[in-house]
Structure 1
Amino acid sequence: MPRSASVAAVSVRQAVRQFGEQRILDGLDLDIGAGQFVALLGRSGSGKTTLLRALAGLDRIDGGQLQVPQARAAVFQEPRLMPWKRAWRNVSLGLRGANPEARARAAMEEVGLQHRLSAWPGTLSGGEAQRVALARALVREPKLLLLDEPFAALDALTRIRMQQLVLELWRKHAPAVLLVTHDVDEAVLLADRVLVLDRGRIVDDLHIAQPRPREIATRHLQEVRRHLLGLLGVESNAEPAPNHSFYLTGTHR
């Protein structure tokens, strides 16, 4: 199972991103260790996706320094598949090196879609399409995997299965992971660290040492949950969402 490492996969120093007079990232500092699973929470407009896009190389910063692995990949809320290419060809799109088709097919098998190799994207369910997007990211063997609310559009049960799959694949491939999410329970169940972003800066960095599998109803995780909800401006007496009453084992079925 991957562990936090002293070697940094990501190093951000005094990052600034500004749109007009508004600073979205305001002198942000962040380190993510190799193989570490980090979740990033924050209210809408706090800069979560801006930071992720900068780390992915899809956006620039206006000041500061970013150090990220050359080998990195991102999965977004929308699968962003090419509708005119079959599933395995979406996975192999732009893939360099030997045997791209064989590698794409192996990645599809890893996410449980060996029976959908030649499916057109329009025939895939939402969960299947996100699995293809995940296979497309992992086939590149990234040292940094960036996940921007990849489960937000899925139904509750599919979301749980995808969370389990991500944990399983993280254990196997050991990339550093940054998961942007609005879901506090998801962050607490999945991550080694949970960061809270507010006004362009990290205002809390909470390490979760509890071994997996985790259940959100345990006393310790309920305290963590209440603390995080409070930082996000939410009254914390509410019970966890029903779909998070299950164990997340990291075993894909």
Structure 2
Amino acid sequence: MTTQYLCERPAVRLQQIVRQFGGNRVIDNLDLDIAPGEFVALLGASGSGKTTLLRALAGLDEVDGGRLEVPEARAAVFQEPRLMPWKRTWKNVTLGLRAGDARQRAIQALTEVGLAHRLEAYPGTLSGGEAQRVALARGLVREPELLLLDEPFAALDALTRIRMHRLIIELWQTHKPAVLLVTHDVDEAILLADRIIVLKDGRIAREIRVALERPRDNGQQGFNAIRAQLLGLLGVAVERGEEGAQEQRSGGESFPPAASRRALAG
């Protein structure tokens, strides 16, 4: 946890959390604190427990043991936008909110994600990136203390994903929720997070603090050292020439080398 968070009371506290299916422990006595306003990314191979942990934090699944403390005000954004196709954009944003100023709050949230002009549109007319921005607006309109992101950019094309990275950082810095991001993308974790947690067999294998200045890009000094460390923890060897390739690029976020893209694909 970065120095600025050390004296904060945690927004999230997990103590000896256990989640199992049959005889298989997917989460095994896991301890984790997330400070208010901290951005944490979860990395790990498929089956390591990332999404299981996020679902427990979202209140979608029960845990089988341990103590879980999370704020009541929380929201989740998933890989699929999960919009109601028969409802207009602004009504999707306000699902579950009480009437009154709901429309005005939707307008404000959609303005923040650059979609005020799509207020009356139906989900079927939105692009993938627009639909995911509506899902973000739906989360933010609830003013969450904890924002849970379950691979929300995985299905987007590379350029849209870059725009979404910049948007989520802007929104995070404005609203200051604690954020937990589940991702299979090593570069994405480094670009966005204050702290990266690597899960293995339902336990925390390693925590890495990302001290790079913001805004970040793949060519930033120190970026490749963190990438190589993470890939090593994930059991992926960096091919010769890949580690230095990004240092030669500049001008913003660029496409990750092959090793980063392959890191967790299986």
- Structure-1 residue corresponding to 2:192: 190
Instruction: Give the aligned partner of residue 79 of structure 1.
Output: 81
Measure how far apart 1:245 and its partner are.
6.4
Q: Does 1:61 align with 2:66?
A: no
Where does 1:78-157 land on structure 2 (aligned, <5 Å)? 78-96=80-98, 98-157=100-159
> Which deviations, in whole Å up to 9, do the C-alpha atoms of 1:83-108 show, x marking residues without a partner?
01000000011113741111011101
- Quote how far apart the aligned CAs of 1:40 are: 0.5
Letter in 1 for 2:5: S
Query: Where do residues 8-87 of structure 1 align in structure 2 (5 Å cutoff)?
Result: 8-87=10-89
**RMSD (Å), alpha carbons:** 1.7
List, as ranges, runs of 4+ consecutive aligned residues in structure 1 with deviation greater than 4 Å.
none
Aligned 8 A contact 1:34 1:176 in 2: yes
Rounded Cα–Cα distance in structure 2 between residues aligned with 1:97 and 1:202: 42
Give, in whole Å, the separation in 2 of the partners of 1:151 and 1:246. 22
| Pairing 1:181–2:183 present | yes
**Distance in 2, Cα, partners of 1:236 & 1:215:** 19
Q: Hey, what does 1:200 align to over in structure 2?
A: 202
Secondary structure of the residue aligned to 1:77 is coil
Amino acid at match of 1:80: R
Distance across 2 between alignment mates of 1:95 and 1:219: 45
Whether the aligned pair in 1 keeps the contact of 2:36 and 2:177 (CA below 8 Å) is yes
Counterpart Cα distance in 2 of 1:9 and 1:211: 24
Number of equivalences = 245
Tell me the amino acid that sits aligned with residue 25 of structure 2: R
Contact 1:213–1:247 under 8 Å retained in 2? no
What letter corresponds to residue 195 of structure 2 in structure 1? R
TM, length-normalised to structure 2: 0.88
Offset, 1:218: 3.3
* C-alpha separation in 2, matches of 1:4 and 1:90: 34
The structural deviation recorded for 1:217 is: 2.6
Which letter does structure 2 place at the counterpart of 1:14?
Answer: Q
Instruction: Pick closer, same or farther for the CA change 1:44–1:218 going to 2, 3 Å.
Output: same
Alignment of 1:220-239 (within 5 A): 220-237=222-239, 238-239=242-243
Determine the structure 2 residue equivalent to 1:247.
252
The alignment partner of 2:5 has SS state of coil
The one-letter code matched in structure 1 to 2:143 is E
TM-score (norm 1): 0.93
- What secondary structure sits across from 2:222 in the alignment? helix
CA shift at 1:219, angstroms? 4.0
Could you tell me how far apart the structure 2 residues matched to 1:247 and 1:53 are?
A: 33
Note if contact 2:13-2:69 (Cα within 8 Å) is conserved in structure 1: yes
Alpha-carbon distance in structure 1 between the residues aligned to 2:184 and 2:251: 19
* Structure 1, unaligned runs of 5 or more: 249-253
Gap regions ≥5 residues in structure 2? 254-266
How far off its partner does 1:236 sit? 2.0
Question: 2:170 is matched by which residue type in structure 1?
Answer: E
